[in-house]
Amino acid sequence: MTKTSAWDTGRRSTRLRLRTTVVSIAAGALAVGTILTVAPTANAATTLGASAAAHGRYFGAAIAAHKLSDSTYVGIVNREFNSITPENEMKINATEPSQGRFDYAAADRIVNHARAQGMKVRGHTLAWHSQQPAWMEGMSGSPLRQAMLNHVTQVATYYRGKIDSWDVVNEAFADGNGGARRDSNLQRTGNDWIEAAFRAARAADPGAKLCYNDYNTDNWNWDKTQAVYRMVQDFKTRGVPIDCVGLQSHFNQGSPYPSNYRTTLQNFAALGVDVQITELDIEGSGATQANTYRNVVNDCLAVPRCNGITVWGVRDSDSWRASGTPLLFDNNGNKKQAYDATLSALNLNPPSNPPSNPPSNPPSNPPSNPPSNPPSDPPPSGAGCSATFSVNAWTGGFVATVKVTAGTSAINGWSVAMNLPAGSAVTNSWSAQASGTSGAVRFGNVSYNGRLNAGAGTEFGFQGTGTAPSGAPVCTAS
């Protein structure tokens, strides 16, 4: 961008305020020489979610539906996090307990809770060798491939528009040397089962980011990391729809936080995907544990496309590895030293990276040339909203990126109307809900990007065949 927009100006002044905070906190830290525990100041965010949001990122937690009646638990969840992952409720055995019979009751409780709180939802997980219902475990070959694809399609369709990122495929690579695929009934249906799952997920929910998620992929030198990297590289080269890589990041003595973690994040991001830390927990206690949490946060903030961190549980007692006390809150729900280190790392880093949330999913297969006419910053309008767009066109097709900006008041939703030339059609859209495919088309916000503060902006996009639209988009706020 060459011009200064209200969006830029707002971000810059936030940055200046945070810089001031950095100086005063750093001086205090030198004086006492201890792990930083930031006393909240007027300028520092006081919760993980708010502080991550200042960086255009989310900070989430995995939660369990059956704990939503625990007031201590829910209090922490609602206060601290702006993204939620159902820990078990979206797994295959939960959502399709018998073939063709889908049960979304438990997952819905979490999704509804998250949406009521304005949180994002990470969907976990559509295709996995583990936690398969008995009927699927017993299947193989073509019937299994069809059942898996049907599962992906049904579940992603049911939650269409409500999921920020889906773990489409989970843990498909083997541990140890060699970087081979993990043997499983799904793998035995053919090596292309992963890309088939991604294509089905894209067709079912074009607005969700589609992630490949795995563990022991944190150390750049490990064969498994390299193997996942090559798969993502191959998918990007061939236009298989993938938007993100999830690094689970379960750290313990056997699988410690590696010193090259940031390199791993950077290298995946350089493939043109977002990187998300999806299941973070760090076994240990005290300053050692706190330091590792700090390192992870600093690494993510150093990589613009590392757009969110999720911890795998709330209190230590909620963890799948409770005895390793790997989380940010103790069994009573009190903040641990690890929490303070995490929050201070978020607050100490000025939000210098461009926000990558709300997400705008890259289209899966358009040409990768930069747009010929980048969007100009929309002028501040009065109440309501305004929209501008840029187009990347080629013979027979185009990708349009639309920027929506709220006027002088906050808005709760928006809708953008555009006119397509005769013979053109919308084939795909992301970060918006499209109505109509030709002529007068309209794009409404999805769950996570409708609410915009005064002057704030968000982007969505669509892909089409034929000639790109040229007339000005008309934005209506709600």
Which residues are annotated as catalytic?
A: 171, 279
Does residue 218 belong to the site contacting ligand 9MR (CB under 6 A)?
Answer: no
Does residue 279 belong to the site contacting ligand 9MR (CB under 6 A)?
Answer: yes
Nearer to ligand 9MR, 170 or 295 (CB): 170
Nearest approach in angstroms of CB 97 to ligand 9MR is: 14
Residues 294, 448, 380, 307: is their CA dihedral positive or negative?
positive
Distances (CA, A) of 202 to 53, 111, 148, 450: 26, 20, 15, 22
Q: How many CB atoms lie within 10 A of CB 377?
A: 19
User: Binders of ligand 9MR among 167-186, rule CB under 6 A?
Assistant: 170
How many angstroms from the chain centroid is the CA of residue 285?
28
List the x/- string, 309-348, binding to ligand 9MR by CB under 6 A: -----------x----------------------------
**Residue 420 identity:** L
Distances (CA, A) of 20 to 53, 160, 161, 199, 298: 19, 42, 39, 47, 19
Nearest approach in angstroms of CB 171 to ligand 9MR is: 7
Terminal-to-terminal C-alpha distance of the chain? 28
Nearer to ligand 9MR, 72 or 88 (CB): 88
Does residue 150 belong to the site contacting ligand 9MR (CB under 6 A)?
Answer: no
Please check whether residue 329 is in contact with residue 76, taking contact to mean a CB–CB distance below 8 angstroms.
Answer: yes
Q: Which of 37, 78, 88, 285 binds ligand 9MR (CB under 6 A)?
A: 88
Q: What is the C-alpha separation between 205 and 209, in angstroms, rounded?
A: 9
Nearer to ligand 9MR, 163 or 404 (CB): 163
For residue 329, give the DSSP letter: B
Does residue 248 belong to the site contacting ligand 9MR (CB under 6 A)?
Answer: yes
Nearer to ligand 9MR, 279 or 316 (CB): 279
User: Binders of ligand 9MR among 186-215, rule CB under 6 A?
Assistant: 215
Nearest approach in angstroms of CB 152 to ligand 9MR is: 17
Q: What is the C-alpha separation between 276 and 256, in angstroms, rounded?
A: 18
Does residue 87 belong to the site contacting ligand 9MR (CB under 6 A)?
Answer: yes
Nearer to ligand 9MR, 7 or 215 (CB): 215
DSSP codes of every residue in 229-247: HHHHHHHHHHT----EEEE
Interaction site with ligand 9MR (CB under 6 A): 87-88, 131, 170, 215, 248, 279, 320
